[in-house]
Structure 1
Amino acid sequence: MKALRYHGRADVRVEDLPTPDPADGEILVRIATTGICGSDIHEYRGGPLAIPLDTPHPLTGDRAPVTMGHEFSGTIVALGSGATGLRVGQRVAASAVLRCGTCPSCTAGHPQLCRTLGFHGISGGGGAFAEFDAFPAYLANPLPDEISDEAGALLEPLATGIHAVGRSGLTPGQSALVVGAGPIGLMVVVAALAAGADQIIVSEPSPVRAKAAARFGATAVLDPKADDVVARVRELTGGHGVDAAFDTAAAPTSFDTALAAVRPRGHVVNVAVWENPTPLQPNALLFSEATITGSLAYTPAEFTRAVEIAAGGAHDLESMVTRSIALADVVTHGFERLAADPGADIKVLVRP
């Protein structure tokens, strides 16, 4: 079969691999569609950040080259021994969070903070930029008929948005600022609406992404190239600031903007993957008593919630997809193009 393999920074290749057999506790899935995630592009352009390069990953035992791809949907074609609760022919989407299940974080219900955390499609053990993918059955989430294969590949980023909103403590009737309207930013908008936010302001310079933010439910969309975002947020919130601000952009001024836009004792959530350090002025914390927190991936319950939201049909998740490409084109028309300039793209799907 064909699969996209990560060898190192700016070095990904479509190669021939044997079709995997599902090991004990695994399933084998014929991949329908796989999303190119922002974290994939970070690994390509600035990595390796999470991909094991020199030392094998403690959960998978793999190191580069590894097969990439962690946002996907497909159909089960084989079950390994010990893979229960699933059946051949069932459509599934998969969580990417590999965990040990025994460390303090796992036993406390936070597998995304596992002591030996890994990600399927990043840490080895298979990946979905391939015709077939074998992975642990505990990652699989059955898809109802209401969710298309394309929307199924968007559940992983939606679960990430749900977790980020949960980390913010956002409650019904509150307000939010989302800095960046890429796929994760848009999913934060969807999750904030589902949490009951009544005012969601988005900062985004791309006209295509700005229109998508409005379509997904933002009550106001600002252009950071033309607007003083912090001043406009204050104006829109009666001078108070938003209850929660989310940085999904990892841009030079995005974190400062998020921190300056929250109300006193508001919450700033970093959802972005940063390729380089960014400065922080602690006085901004001193005088606002704001809380800064990180948000990594999601829990199994939050992935289940993503399935529920998508099945409910309140949002046309598929409208986020701007291109679909073949696996043979994923290097030039996917990774190289998105790393150089995403342009009008929001979400690019690969069809192995």
Structure 2
Amino acid sequence: MRAVSFSGQNQCLTDRAKPEPRPGQAVIRVTVAGICNTDVELAKGYMGFSGVPGHEFVGVVEAAPDAPQWIGRRVAADINWGCGVCPVCLATDARHCPNRTTLGIAGWDGAFAQWLVAPVANLHAVPDSVPDREAVFAEPLAAALEVSQQIHLTAKTRIAVLGDGKLGILIACALRHVCPGIVLIGKHARKLDVAARQGVSARLLADQEERRERFDVVVEATGREDGLARAMDLVRPEGTIVAKTTVAGTAPLSLARLVVDEISLVGSRCGDIALALHYLEQRLVDVTPLIEAEYDLEDFLEAFARASRPGTGKILVRIGS
């Protein structure tokens, strides 16, 4: 099969053996995959990744020896695979299993390939009304919604999302159903308008700096090393910062200010794929304005170069049909 391979900071298209399912696994023919900023960071050395990247995908189950009822169904999947036997898996959440693998990120070949394998337990059926080019957003939308599952939000919570990239826009558009007064803060009027057209109050960073307004909750989604420091300037004392950025570099942060102002810092990663698919099915978030371009798998290197440019919208890779 054709697949993308990352090795260190080198990327190439290669031929690999089609994967075979082990007990409890399914073989999925990938139809569409999305290039994420995390993929860009992997190419810079984040996680020391080597293998097939890609964790945003939709595909069709071709084989599932232990669960034939899945064959022919369109699916997305939870991207974390726990060992299932450690205390973390048994008592809390396999997403934080110390021995976990993560699709296209750590120890598990990902979706920039014609086929992949995934645990049947991780599969989620994609509703018939959700097209592939929208269903591919299930994983990033789940990550956006995870904020609402981690901290208590009400309609009166003063919340801001810092960063008008793809994830920041998704977070603001998703959380507006919980916090109607949510504010998206960024540097690009064109991108802020994507969220504004979905009912989000959007604000240029320069205008926000003049207001000197402080928020109860700030979701940091800048994708920049200095994002947390900027979020500190927006949160009120005893407020909460939710950190979404993952970068290969080191993020500076004033711990003294964190302590003195008694600010809570919450890391936020993956979310509930089923919840994201529900939002897509009910048309609670329109993800299509985020799509900038679509490429075939054979043109992946061109697609990845475009996705690596700052400010680029979502780049999709068409892999099958």
Distance 1:335 1:35, change over 3 A: same
2:75 corresponding residue in structure 1: 92
**What SS is found at the alignment partner of 2:305?**
helix
Q: CA deviation at 1:228?
A: 5.3
Gaps of 5+ in 1: 52-63, 235-240
| Aligned residue identity for 1:6 | F
Distance 1:169 1:330, change over 3 A: same
* 8 Å CA contact retained: 1:161, 1:187: yes
Deviations 1:138-182 (A, max 9, x none): 221001112111111100001111113333432232121111122
* 8 Å CA contact retained: 2:47, 2:106: no
* 8 Å CA contact retained: 2:27, 2:61: yes
Q: 1:210 aligns with which of 192, 197, 203?
A: 192
**What SS is found at the alignment partner of 2:112?**
coil
Deviations 1:230-263 (A, max 9, x none): 44351xxxxxx21210111132542122122122
Q: 2:52 aligns with which of 64, 67, 70?
A: 67
Indicate the percent of aligned positions where both proteins have the same amino acid: 28
Two-structure CA RMSD over aligned residues (Å): 1.9
Measure the CA separation in 1 of the matches of 2:117 and 2:34. Answer: 17
2:19 corresponding residue in structure 1: 20
* 8 Å CA contact retained: 1:247, 1:254: yes
Gaps of 5+ in 2: none
Q: 1:157 aligns with which of 140, 143, 168?
A: 140
Distance 1:105 1:190, change over 3 A: farther
1:336 corresponding residue in structure 2: 305
* TM-score, normalised with respect to structure 1: 0.85
Measure the CA separation in 2 of the matches of 1:183 and 1:137. Answer: 29
* 8 Å CA contact retained: 1:50, 1:122: no
Measure the CA separation in 2 of the matches of 1:278 and 1:317. Answer: 29
Measure the CA separation in 1 of the matches of 2:199 and 2:260. Answer: 32
* 8 Å CA contact retained: 2:307, 2:314: no
* Aligned positions of 1:214-253 closer than 5 A: 214-222=196-204, 224=205, 227=206, 229-232=208-211, 234=213, 241-253=214-226
**What SS is found at the alignment partner of 2:60?**
strand
Q: CA deviation at 1:325?
A: 0.6
Q: 1:276 aligns with which of 240, 245, 249?
A: 249
Measure the CA separation in 2 of the matches of 1:111 and 1:230. Answer: 40
| Count of matched residue positions in the alignment of Structure 1 and Structure 2 | 319
Deviations 1:84-141 (A, max 9, x none): 6x42111111111121122233223322211113211222433211112222112210
* TM-score, normalised with respect to structure 2: 0.92
Deviations 1:61-86 (A, max 9, x none): xxx3x111110001111113x236x4
Measure the CA separation in 2 of the matches of 1:130 and 1:329. Answer: 13
* 8 Å CA contact retained: 1:3, 1:14: yes
